[in-house]
Structure 1
Amino acid sequence: MTQAQKSRIHAVDIMSLPALPEVLFRILDACEADNRNMQEIAALVRQDAALAARVLALSTSPAFGLAQNDRKLTLEQTLMLLGINALRTLALTAAVYQFMDQSLGAHRQRHENFWQEALLTATLASKLADLSGYPSVHEAYLGGLISNIGQIGMLVTEPELYDDLLDQAGTDTSELVTREKTLFGLDHASLGGKMLSRSGRRGPLTDAVRFHHASVDELTEAHHLVRLVAVANRLGCDASIAPAAGLVAADRILGLIPSLLNDLHASAVKQTRETARAFGIETSSRPQKQERADGSQTSASKSEHELARRLGDMNILSAARKQLEGSEQIDDLLASADLANHLIFGMNRIGYFLVDDQAQSAQGQAPTNSALTQFWSEFRVALPSTHSLVGATLTNGTTESIQPWQEPEADNAQPSVLDLELLDLLHTAGFFSIPLCAQGQIVGSMIVGVNADDALRITQRHRLLEWFAGELAQEILGLNRRNKALAEALREQAEDQRLKARSVVHETNNPLSIIQNYLGILGRHIDEGHTDVADDLRIINEEIGRVGTIVRSLTETGDVNEDRKQIDLNALVKDVIQLLRPTLITPAGIGLELHLDDSLPPIEASHRRVKQILVNLIKNAAEALDRGQIITVSTSDYVYLGQQAYVALDVGDNGPGMPPQILASLFKPVATLKGGSHAGLGLSITKKLVDELHGTITCRSSHSQGTHFQVLIPRRLLNA
């Protein structure tokens, strides 16, 4: 044997090991099923050494965040962490490689025998674990299952050489190990351990594979799992009777007497043969080469042909998936589905029923370019319903059919009037009603019109048709969710605009009231002969400008930075007080006290927003107070919240306070104690303005101490 051949043996990778085709296509089916069950998938993975080894190798990938030596996870838990997509990809990749590697067909019987021996060893290991008190039976099963993956690696890499070597060694395991070392430079146990180590797997499971052919003397002090797998291998090398070597090893390294093991061995053999029969595999004691009439070995088995067909179906399904992607309207999606149905199945008489959850019904629908469009939308099925075959599909998620060319079964439901009407509309003798199911939800049904000459083709491709229906259902579900999200976004946008319009109306009332009051003051000043009215006119002009700014905000997206400038907060407070005292404070008989921090520096902020906040808070307080009560306005520097420095603006009063139920929703646009025409928007607008300044606002209120608002504005200095 050349050095290059030896190097290939030493470098064989777990991910290249072939799995049994029967197991592969069942796993692919389970992964595609809408009601997929991870326990069922795990049970299938447990039936194949190569697949189990692949899962163990994949679980050590950093992409899944599992520790290399994490032995606490069961196979089900490992598969859950890997996810259904990773498992589907793993099985599909294995299937593609096996389909491409035609050499596997020549050694089909050898692979089946390896598979049976692995199952028997795994079953024995789990039973021995239970009998000897090993705490993790599932780990013992996995150890037994993958213990001989090195043999699969050798057969895959050098099929002809290793096949001959197995024939020469016969049933003598010691002879087999000796010949492997001579030919390849290592035995299959060492190769299996090497493959697991290279994939990142460490610990007793890897040791159980590496040392399962060690001598009994060497194993007496080994890890419990290593001893279990070694005994299971010795017992599993003969399916007809428990081998003497296995009985001796069990006694010496596990302390299990032979009388306990004969029944255990017989039970494990029976269980293995039942599993093999379930997969349609004939059991045999030793591998036999299959010969063609011309003397050459046979190629692919029936299962391999089935696997090839499944791969073809998946390629078709992938193309169909691309055909369905990207539709933004349900009509476009159904048109794409019609085209895909025509291309894949040759079916062009198709209609749909789509479920409307809110109406608890399903309505008929066909694409606008379909000949069925005219009448299809006039059909509606109330749900749940089993009066018709279509209703049964929509309610139970089952495929129903009318096939008059077949002998009717006794328990078959009779077509309803609706079913017969649909037949007439489809212009076919029969139909299949196929559920559109995705993520455990029935979103509709696909009604495929068929005639007798279509039936065989549809029956042969029924599974693919159901898969296609699942893909269509997934797209419908996604489209429904996108449309729902869009409708919700539009509703929120409309609500935002409505609230903004209400806010503008509310906020313009403040400057308009001030303008109205100052026009009255201006009139009195003129009547009294005052010649200096410039200050009154300035205030009126400023408030007119503020009205314009507020109205423009209805159609413009405000930028908090657009009017940011250096403001003197104390001066701004005095201006607002001067503005409100003659128009609001004095007429109401309310007192006003100022406590301003003279050390407060000018800060960088939006003058308009800060002014509006202050006006809202003072106006809100004034409207809640009785004559003689007092509003207090104060400022202070260096208020810290966390690591952030703020300046504080406080507006308090000694009024009646607010009840807890009002405080709980104080800044929402509904809470108000004012009654009358007040919209309850003032404080919600104030909160929004504070947020735009990246500040915070708090409120405390009680019947005995009145109400106190504190606004914290970031302490940003213009040139800091």
Structure 2
Amino acid sequence: MPEASVSPQPFDSTDLLALPALPAVVGELLAAFDDENVDVQTLAHIIGRDAIISARMLTVANSAAYHSRAPRVSSLERTLTVLGLETAKTIALTTAIHQTFSKLRGIPAADMDRFWRHALGCAHLAQRLAQTTAYPAPDEAYLCGLLHDLGKLVIGVRHPTALQEVRVRTRSRDDIPTLERQLFGADHCELGATLVESWRLRSFLADAIRFHHQAAEELRGAHPLLRLLHVANTLSQDGELDDAACIGADSLFGLTPALLRQLRAESAREMVLLATSLGIAKSVMVVSDELATPLSPTRTRLDRSVQELTLVNGVQAEMGQADDETALLESVARCATILFDLGEVHFFLPEPQTGMLHSHDPGVLREFVIDPAGAENVVTRALRDQRISHSLAEESTGAGIVDRQLARLWGTDGVLCLPLHTATEFLGGLVAGVSQAQLPRLLAQNRLLHLFAAEVAGHLDTLRQRERRRNRAHEDRRLLEQQRLRAVLHEAANPLTILRNYLHLLTVKLGEPSVQDDLRVLREETERVGRILLRLSDQGGDREATGPVDLNATVRDLARVLDDALCRPRGIRLVLELADGIPPLAKGGDAIRQIVLNLVRNAAEALGQSSSGAITLATRDNINWHGRSYVELVVADNGPGLPDEQRARLFQPTTSAKGGEHAGLGLAIVRNLTEELDGSVSCRSNSGGGLIFQVLLPRPGSG
């Protein structure tokens, strides 16, 4: 048999999506998730039948996305509790989607059957041995047995005949790791241990996998989990139980050959039933390369596109549940781990005031500040080029100081940045720790990474727009409350002045007969003050004025608030040109205040910080339009203005306000409020630059 060629690329133990899962387990797990009454114990039992799905669940639960809640223990039930059922279901779904569309490497079906039989048999024996020897965590022992040979599949997906070659050439089980290193450049013990080590468990599970082929005498005195896996692996081999295995088990645990045979027989009976239920004897999950029908390049591209879109759609629900930015970023980190098997996923987002990029993660990452105009690193390159950037390039410009710091912090070979941006705005970067082995696989998924980035940017932008609308509504309420308070306090000043005058008169008239009348007036005015001040504490009900509305007084009162809050801080002059003699309007005091507030705010945002900017509020009477008389309210500015085609869509609620554009939800509200008052609103260019908004309100008695 010819020597297998050793690939120059390092093995990527973290690429669990490339490893074949048992279809029966995936199907049973998805069906279980559809059962609203399913419990964690049942799910953990199903997951525990498949090493790949178990490893994927542990990978996500122990990733950076769960640092604050990570189990750090090797328990599937605890892992499911940390993940939550929705995330666990997403992991199962992405595993199913990936393996439905992917043409997995051609590991022969017989070799896969043998692998799964041995893995499950070893898991059951490890659990029974743990119970027999009073090891306090039998579930951990089961998981250790289930995962102990994962490294064989890591080798097998690159060298499909590896399992068979090693089996044919091996003279002794202890020779397997040495032979694998000779043939393939790595052994399955080290590859499996490397994967488990990336989870940073508080467990000896990784060491147990690394040393399970060591001789029994070398494991005497070692941690019980290392000894348990060694014995379970020995007992679960095909063929009769030999003397060497019995001697080893006796030296490590003092177990008799009779007890070992009993445990082995009980496990064998269970395996017959389990293998039948899982369809291991007639596995069809992997086909050999010789029997596989070649696909045309067009069909391959189509399958890949459908797979990518389906995978992205599969994680949309996970991201869509977030109701604030922190929750969204946590969800994105989980989804990145699910889709790409990334263990360290973090975000650097620009600060609005300075443009500097900061991490929102707790701990030492908060101390990192990336200047987009500073020294080059993967984040600044991703921002500048709007494409994926990484620090593992061969050229000397590959890694900046920040890149090397982050790689050391995360214990990875390098870092990769996925830029997050919309058509008009850079939102930040998703930064992940990557190994040299992971990089080729990630770069090969360039399109999927970009689809994922676009989905993340869309969710982040939507969330921020929603937050801006909430903040704007809150600010509107605050400004209107401030104006209302000013008006109420002004109204309260008149009776208080009368009170002061009458108190003065009382000091003069005290003792005269007319004092009783004076005291009556004092009581009446005091009661009026009480009623006015009571209105200040009125937080509910309809605040719309029920009587006539003095347009000029309403505009003048609100202008004082807007000048203080919006205009003067930006260096903008607020000019009032209010016509005399405008009759009281029939209704709409609150609506008019909201209209003025939105139009002045939009004008102020269009002008920005401007030493020459000006906003004019003007009123006029007796405007005739379509045979009806109106009162006119004008808000004009001398800002940059808008092209005609943008003005035509100005009052649509879907229009986005960016930079100097007078647009967005505020103008849709202006239109709706004006129409509720039976008026109209329009916009035209200002001859001196900027825009003029004209609001026409029905004049009393105009019909």
TM-score range, shorter chain: 0.3 to 0.5
Q: Which has the higher contact order (CA 8 A, sep 6+)?
A: 2
